[in-house]
Amino acid sequence: MTDLQTSLFIIGGAFLVGVISYNKWQEYKAKKSVERAFSGSHDDVLMTPGKENGEAPVRHEPKLFEAEFDADAMSAVPHDDLEQSAEQQAIEPQLGNPVSAPALTPTPAVRKDLPVDELIDCAIPLVLESPVRGDKALPALQTLRHVGNKPIHFIGEDLNGEWEPVAHGGVYSTLLAGVQLANRTNPLNEIEYSELVTRLRQIADDLGAEPELPEMTEVMHTARGLHQFVIEHDAQLGVNIQSSGAPWAISTLLAALSRQGFDARPEGRMVMSDGDGGLLFSLSTNASAVAETTSRLTLLLDVPRVAPDRDGYGAMVACARSLAARLGGVLVDDSNQALADVQLAEIAGQVDAFYREMEAAEIPAGSIRALRLFS
What are 262-305's pLDDT values in tens digits? 998 877 789 999 988 889 999 999 998 899 999 999 999 999 99
Which pLDDT does position 33 carry in this prediction? 43
What are 98-117's pLDDT values in tens digits? 444 433 334 435 566 899 99
CATH code for the part of the protein at 102-232: 3.30.1400
* DSSP 8-state class, residue 182: B
What are 314-330's pLDDT values in tens digits? 999 999 999 999 999 99
Has residue 132 got a pLDDT over 90? yes
In the chain, CATH 3.30.1400.10 covers 236-373
Which pLDDT does position 7 carry in this prediction? 60
Which pLDDT does position 47 carry in this prediction? 38
Per-chain mean pLDDT for the chain = 80
Which pLDDT does position 289 carry in this prediction? 84
What are 174-201's pLDDT values in tens digits? 999 999 999 999 999 999 999 999 999 9
What are 206-239's pLDDT values in tens digits? 999 999 999 999 999 999 999 999 999 999 999 9
What are 339-369's pLDDT values in tens digits? 999 999 999 999 999 999 999 999 999 999 9
Which pLDDT does position 5 carry in this prediction? 60
Q: Phi and psi (nearest 5°) for 142?
A: -70, -10
Lowest pLDDT segment from 6-20, 137-151, 239-253: 6-20
Q: Which of 95, 94, 91, 88 is nearest to 299 (CA)?
A: 91
Type of residue at 348: A
What are 41-88's pLDDT values in tens digits? 334 333 334 444 444 333 333 333 333 344 443 433 333 333 333 343
DSSP character string of 66-127: -----GGG-EE------PPP-SSS---S-----EEPPP----TTS-TTSSS-TTTEEEEEEE
Q: Phi and psi (nearest 5°) for 118?
A: -65, -15
DSSP character string of 291-353: -SEESEEEEEEEGGGS-GGG-HHHHHHHHHHHHHHHHTEEEE-TTS-B--HHHHHHHHHHHHH
CA distance 150 to 182: 7
For residue 185, give the 3-state DSSP assignment: coil
> What number of residues does the chain have?
375
Q: Phi and psi (nearest 5°) for 324?
A: -60, -40
Which pLDDT does position 149 carry in this prediction? 96
Which pLDDT does position 113 carry in this prediction? 81
Query: 236-373 sits in which CATH class?
Result: alpha beta
